[in-house]
A and B are shown apart, each in its own frame.
Chain A
Amino acid sequence: MRWSFILNIIGMLIIFLGICMIFPLFFGLYFKDQSIIPLAQSMGITIGSGLSLVLCFRRTKVEHISHREGIAIVAIGWTAIGFFGAFPFYLGAEFNTFVDAFFESVSGFTTTGSSILTNIEAVSKGLLFWRSFIQWLGGMGIIVLSVAILPFLGVGGMQLYKAEVPSPVPDKLKPRIRDTATVLWKVYALISLAQVLLLMIGGMNLYDALCHAFTTMPTGGFSTRNASIAHFDSVYFDTVIIIFMLMAGINFSLHYQFLRGKPLAFWRDSECRFFLGSVLILIFIVTLNIYGTVYETMGQAFRYGAFQVVSIVTTTGYATADYELWPAMSQLILLLCMFLGASAGSTGGGMKCLRVMLALKFCYKELFSLIHPRAVRHIKIGGVSVHEDVVRSVLGFMGLYVGLFAFSSVLIASMGVDLVTSVASVAATIGNIGPGLGMVGPTDNFAHIPYLGKWVLIWCMLLGRLEIYTVIILFVPEFWRK
Chain B
Amino acid sequence: MKVIIVGAGEVGFHIASHLARENKNVVVIDKDPAAIRRVSDNIDVQVVIGSGSSPVILKEAGIKEAEILVAVTDSDDTNLGACMVSDLISPATKKLCRIRYADYDEYHEAFREHAPHIDTIINPEIEVVKKIFRLMSVPGAVEVGDFADGRLVFIGIYIDESAKLSGVRLSDIYAKTGKQSPLIAAVVRDEELIIPRGKHRLKAGDLIYFISEKEKLIESLSLFDKNVEPIGRVMIVGGGSIGFRLASLLEENSISTKIIEKNPDRCAELAEKLNKAVVLHGDGSDQELLREENIQDMDVVVTLTNDEETNILTSLLAKRMGASKIITKVSKFSYIPLISMIGLEQVVSPRLSAINTILQHIRVGKVLAAKSIIDEQAEVMEAVALETSDIVGKPIREISIPKGALVTGIMRQDTIIIPTGESVIEPNDRIIIFAKKQAIPEVEKILAVKLEFF
Contact = CB atoms under 8 A, between A and B. Distances in A.
Contacts of B27: 175
Contacts of A157: 44
B337 interface: no
A241 B33 CA distance: 41
Nearest to A180: B46
A393 to B, nearest CB: 13
Contact of B44 (A67, A158, A170): A158
Of the candidates A64, A158, A170, A175, the one having the most CB atoms from chain B within 10 angstroms of its own CB is A175
Contact of B23 (A63, A64, A174, A176): A176
B46 A174 contact: yes
Contact of B46 (A63, A154, A172): A172
A64 B41 CA distance: 11
Interface string B15-46: 00000110101110000010000001110111
B262 interface: no
A186 interface: no
A167 to B, nearest CB: 13
Interface residues of A, number: 14
A400 B219 CA distance: 72
A313 interface: no
A158 B46 CA distance: 11
Of the candidates B27, B41, B46, the one having the most CB atoms from chain A within 10 angstroms of its own CB is B46
B25 A175 contact: yes
B118 to A, nearest CB: 23
Nearest to B21: A63
Interface in A435-461: none
B2 A175 contact: yes
Of the candidates A64, A67, A157, A172, the one having the most CB atoms from chain B within 10 angstroms of its own CB is A172
Contacts of A353: none
A32 interface: no
A67 B2 CA distance: 27
Contacts of B23: 154, 176
Contacts of A154: 23, 44
A387 interface: yes
Of the candidates A67, A158, A170, A179, the one having the most CB atoms from chain B within 10 angstroms of its own CB is A158
Contacts of B33: 387
Contacts of A36: none
A158 B21 CA distance: 13
A175 B41 contact: no
Contacts of B41: 67
Contacts of B42: 64
A338 interface: no
A24 B231 CA distance: 79
Contacts of A175: 2, 25-27, 44-46
Contact of A176 (B40, B44, B47): B44
A104 B344 CA distance: 64
Nearest to B46: A175
A177 interface: yes
Nearest to B45: A175
Contacts of A387: 33
B188 to A, nearest CB: 18
Interface string B269-286: 000000000000000000
B43 to A, nearest CB: 8
A177 B44 contact: yes
Interface in A49-91: 63-64, 67
Contacts of A64: 42
Nearest to A387: B33
B44 A174 contact: no
Interface in A345-399: 387
Contacts of B40: 170, 172
Interface string A159-180: 0000000000010101111010
Contacts of B47: 172
A63 B20 CA distance: 12
Nearest to A61: B438
B220 to A, nearest CB: 35
A175 B68 CA distance: 14
Interface string A173-199: 011110100000000000000000000
A387 B32 CA distance: 12
A154 B20 CA distance: 11
Contacts of A176: 20, 23, 25, 44-45
Contacts of B26: 175
Contacts of A174: 25, 46
Nearest to A178: B44
Contacts of B21: 63
B439 to A, nearest CB: 15
A175 B23 CA distance: 10
Nearest to A172: B46
Nearest to A179: B25
A175 B24 CA distance: 8
A156 to B, nearest CB: 9
A240 B2 CA distance: 40
Contacts of A172: 40, 46-47
A154 B43 CA distance: 11
Of the candidates B21, B33, B45, the one having the most CB atoms from chain A within 10 angstroms of its own CB is B45
A37 B438 CA distance: 46
A174 B23 CA distance: 12
A308 to B, nearest CB: 40
Of the candidates B25, B40, B44, B47, the one having the most CB atoms from chain A within 10 angstroms of its own CB is B44
A181 to B, nearest CB: 11
Given A154-B23, A176-B45, A179-B25, 9 more contacts: A158-B44, A170-B40, A172-B47, A174-B25, A175-B25, A175-B26, A175-B45, A176-B23, A177-B44
25 contacts: A64-B42, A154-B23, A154-B44, A157-B44, A158-B44, A170-B40, A172-B40, A172-B46, A172-B47, A174-B46, A175-B2, A175-B25, A175-B26, A175-B27, A175-B44, A175-B45, A175-B46, A176-B20, A176-B23, A176-B25, A176-B44, A176-B45, A177-B44, A179-B25, A387-B33
**8 tightest A-B CB contacts, nearest first:** A175-B25, A175-B46, A172-B46, A158-B44, A177-B44, A175-B26, A175-B45, A175-B27
Interface of B: 2, 20-21, 23, 25-27, 33, 40-42, 44-47
Interface of A: 63-64, 67, 154, 157-158, 170, 172, 174-177, 179, 387
